[in-house]
Amino acid sequence: MINRVIKFNDGFVFIDVTDIAETIFGAEDLYAVDVDKETEGLIEDIHELNYWLRKRTLRICIEGGHLPISKNTDWWGDSEKITHEGYIYVRSKDILK
């Protein structure tokens, strides 16, 4: 199975469609993506697409969007605490948010 997902350090994802780029040109915005430099450029016409397909130095991709950012929560600091006979208790609903 081929991994078509290209993830940049900022969390943005591109999907490699080099093998079907000519078929979907015009239906989707295509980008020439340099994976090593993490740069992309919009392919504006069929001649530019053919150039990048012949050159084979960059991947032809469509936008995948941003990955969701994981929320680091401080469940201990954010939860309501109850002290009883020297023990500290936390409500389970505060932990399972």
One DSSP character per residue, 8-75 reads -TTSEEEEE-GGGHHHHBTTB--EEEETTTTEEEE--SHHHHHHHHHH-SSEEEEEEEEPPPP----H
Residue 4 has pLDDT above 90, yes or no: no
Residue 45 has pLDDT above 80, yes or no: yes
Q: How far apart are CA 33 and CA 61, in angstroms?
A: 7
What residues does each domain of the chain span? 5-66
Q: How confident is the model at residue 79 (pLDDT cuts 50, 70, 90)?
A: confident
Residue 33 has pLDDT above 90, yes or no: yes
Amino acid, res. 13: V
Residue 1 has pLDDT above 60, yes or no: no
Query: pTM for this one?
Result: 0.66
**Mean pLDDT, to the nearest integer, of 36-49?**
91
